Structure 1
Amino acid sequence: MSSSTLRSTWCGSRLRGVRGENGSTCRRQGIGFRSRRVGFRSVVASGDESGRIEPDLSVKVNGLDMPNPFVIGSGPPGTNYTVMKRAFDEGWGAVIAKTVSLDSSKVVNVTPRYARLRANANGSKKGQIIGWENIELISDRPLETMLKEFEQLKQEYPDRILIASIMEEYNKTAWHELIERVEETGVDAIEINFSCPHGMPERKMGAAVGQDCALLEEICGWINEKATVPVWAKMTPNVTDITEPSRVALTSGCEGVAAINTIMSVMGIDLDTLRPEPCVEGYSTPGGYSCKAVHPIALAKVMRIAQMMRLEFSGNNLSLSGIGGVESGGDAAEFILLGANTVQVCTGVMMNGYGVIQKLCDELKDFMRKHNFSSIEDFRGASLPYFTTHTDLVKRQKEAIAQRKAMRKGLQSDKDWTGDGFVKESESMASN
């Protein structure tokens, strides 16, 4: 089996396994790794009346075939059977269900739990929505109910990708039990919520794990001892350097990284009542910020993760899922150009409905036609090499200016004259 060695020098991480190119892993240093169960779904590019081949949006991620790279992000759009079925019927590439844990009785949501930011004055009821805050917790439905619905969905849509999002307290036995029960339903992969910015941090859940690399490494170890399907680690942006926990998750056995979850925020203050939003009985709490306004921040975080993965994990069949303010095919193209394999949408569905998938696919295809790209892989990561340091930018500009000045001074020798550029070369040496 061909293999690549994973190495990390950050946060005390050490090599735990060798991953084959086909996504399988072998036993090393006493840690048990597993062969991945994969499903395949063929999608063939079709042509139009002129015989032109249509862009192919299908992607294969960690051995899982999706008809397009658009994934329902974990949250309200994946909260029950009815809405997840609607997503599959509309044509979404995959669905990530709302996060579940063993004991839903500890999850108590409040209403209202959303607040919106518009493009004009804060607090106005008019104008385009550019920001969305939520103080919503994980699923408050009984785990048994969610598991039955996962199983039903996989029976009805055996060729579609269903991903469970899970989160549990700091307890190895609880994590193992949750993984086993979720996998029994036939889900295709698991996304680990290491990133919820609010609610239950005192129980070492959500972002409390994603912000602590030692804790993250330990829990990823527990998870990857047990899981037999691909595991994605959903990362929090509420850290100084998102590459550090992402590196830990990947070196600890996760097959992919998803980024970003919401940004910790206070949406605003009602200037009439002087109370914060969303207001619950006169009070509020900081929540997670999403929607269009976070898109540039998400792009920067994904770019940094993609650079790290390309440098340190190249050839290891690992994946990156971009999240943050996707409302158009162009938004998705930006994430893919930075190296993302898939793109998740959550708030965009809450604002525009499940039918927005057709618009997203059409706009992404338009972008691909414009540049003559036939597949997602044709342009995935294409923009990544154009990021550099400020020092390098200064150097590049200095060299470019010097080159332009040299051209303005004219030819250095008679041997430099060319036939094609003769007129311009003559003009370059004229003084007026």
Structure 2
Amino acid sequence: MGVDLDRMTMSPVTDGWGSHGGYCGPAVKPIALNMVAEIARDPATAGMPLSGIGGITTWRDAAEYIAMGCGTVQVCTAAMVYGFKIVQDMCSGLSNFMDEKGYASLDEFRGRAVPTVKNWNQLNLNYVEKAVIDQDSCIKCGRCHVVCEDTSHQAIFAMKDGQRHFEVNDAECVGCNLCVSICPVPGTISMRALQPGETDARTGRVIDGSYANWTTHPNNPMSAGCA
């Protein structure tokens, strides 16, 4: 769905008119995967047969749905765009993944990720991570610096001794993972968890390993500690 800016009509158009349609393709995946996770971890529905659909385009997408509890997956948009051969590619990739991980059957990893899902307000807000850039594999493209500088926390230096050199400033890094998601070289940027006894350079707080979620955290004005 869009707008043809030359004709000033909605696109696609039928006899001069347009309308909204469905929602499909990769954009659906986070929504559908969350719905699968909610069904898989709800005591009332846990264990029910699940078939995942929504944005499945690669073998990795299929594997993620299976890890979240699906016994089968379905493909629609990807087949429409790339043809049925895309399913063969998914099967090959999934088979290679299983061989690499030592899985003899889908059941060996089906639902394995479900126990790691929590409601957002139960996540540990005392957990602190810092981004780390591997200088040996960094290609110095600068994408991490751009996204952090323009839309995040200005926590990545771009120069050192007059040369392009990208390094994380721990005093500003909040561990948002944006740089990890944007880096084109897998594994070059990773997240390191601060261990008990270490000091967070951004806040000056000594990590003590304690747990506090949004319902108890002092940053929440409605928490019991602030009431």
Query: Residue 332 of structure 1 aligns to which amino acid in structure 2?
Result: A
Q: 1:393 to 1:364 in 2, by over 3 A?
A: same
Q: Which residue of 2 aligns with 1:304?
A: 38
Gaps of 5+ in 2: 129-192, 200-205, 207-227
Q: Among 64, 78, 85, which residue is 1:334 paired with?
A: 64
Tell me, in whole angstroms, the C-alpha distance in 2 between the residues paired with 1:364 and 1:290: 23
Aligned residues: 136
Conservation of the 8 A alpha-carbon contact between 2:66 and 2:72: yes
Tell me, yes or no, if structure 1 residue 386 matches structure 2 residue 120: no
Q: Which residue of 2 aligns with 1:375?
A: 105
Q: 1:394 to 1:379 in 2, by over 3 A?
A: same
Tell me, yes or no, if structure 1 residue 403 matches structure 2 residue 209: no
Conservation of the 8 A alpha-carbon contact between 2:41 and 2:114: yes
Q: Which residue of 2 aligns with 1:348?
A: 78
Q: 1:281 to 1:391 in 2, by over 3 A?
A: closer
Tell me, in whole angstroms, the C-alpha distance in 2 between the residues paired with 1:402 and 1:372: 31
Shift of 1:396: 6.0
Shift of 1:376: 0.5
Q: Among 19, 31, 49, which residue is 1:319 paired with?
A: 49
- Counting only pairs closer than 5 Å after superposition, residues 260-279 of structure 1 correspond to structure 2 as 267-279=1-13
CA RMSD of aligned residues (A): 2.4
Tell me, in whole angstroms, the C-alpha distance in 2 between the residues paired with 1:396 and 1:342: 37
Q: Which residue of 1 aligns with 2:96?
A: 366
Counterpart of 1:394 in 2: which secondary structure?
A: coil
Q: Deviations over 1:277-327 (max 9, x none)?
A: 22001102211021122222221222222222xx22345xx3111111111
Q: Deviations over 1:241-276 (max 9, x none)?
A: xxxxxxxxxxxxxxxxxxxxxxxxxx1111111111
Conservation of the 8 A alpha-carbon contact between 2:59 and 2:93: yes
Tell me, in whole angstroms, the C-alpha distance in 1 between the residues paired with 2:31 and 2:46: 24
Counterpart of 2:66 in 1: which secondary structure?
A: helix
Tell me, in whole angstroms, the C-alpha distance in 1 between the residues paired with 2:92 and 2:62: 12
Shift of 1:391: 3.8
Shift of 1:402: 6.7
Larger of the two Rg values belongs to structure: 1
Q: Which residue of 2 aligns with 1:281?
A: 15
Shift of 1:403: 2.6
Q: Deviations over 1:201-257 (max 9, x none)?
A: xxxxxxxxxxxxxxxxxxxxxxxxxxxxxxxxxxxxxxxxxxxxxxxxxxxxxxxxx
Q: 1:303 to 1:364 in 2, by over 3 A?
A: same
Shift of 1:405: 3.8
Query: Residue 272 of structure 1 aligns to which amino acid in structure 2?
Result: D
Q: 1:332 to 1:276 in 2, by over 3 A?
A: same
Q: Deviations over 1:347-382 (max 9, x none)?
A: 111111122222110011122122211111111111
Counterpart of 2:50 in 1: which secondary structure?
A: strand
Tell me, in whole angstroms, the C-alpha distance in 1 between the residues paired with 2:63 and 2:103: 12
- Counting only pairs closer than 5 Å after superposition, residues 192-207 of structure 1 correspond to structure 2 as none
Conservation of the 8 A alpha-carbon contact between 2:39 and 2:45: no
Shift of 1:390: 3.3
Gaps of 5+ in 1: 1-266, 410-432
Counterpart of 1:279 in 2: which secondary structure?
A: coil
Tell me, in whole angstroms, the C-alpha distance in 2 between the residues paired with 1:275 and 1:327: 31
Query: Residue 58 of structure 2 aligns to which amino acid in structure 1?
Result: S
Tell me, yes or no, if structure 1 residue 290 matches structure 2 residue 19: no
Q: 1:381 to 1:396 in 2, by over 3 A?
A: farther
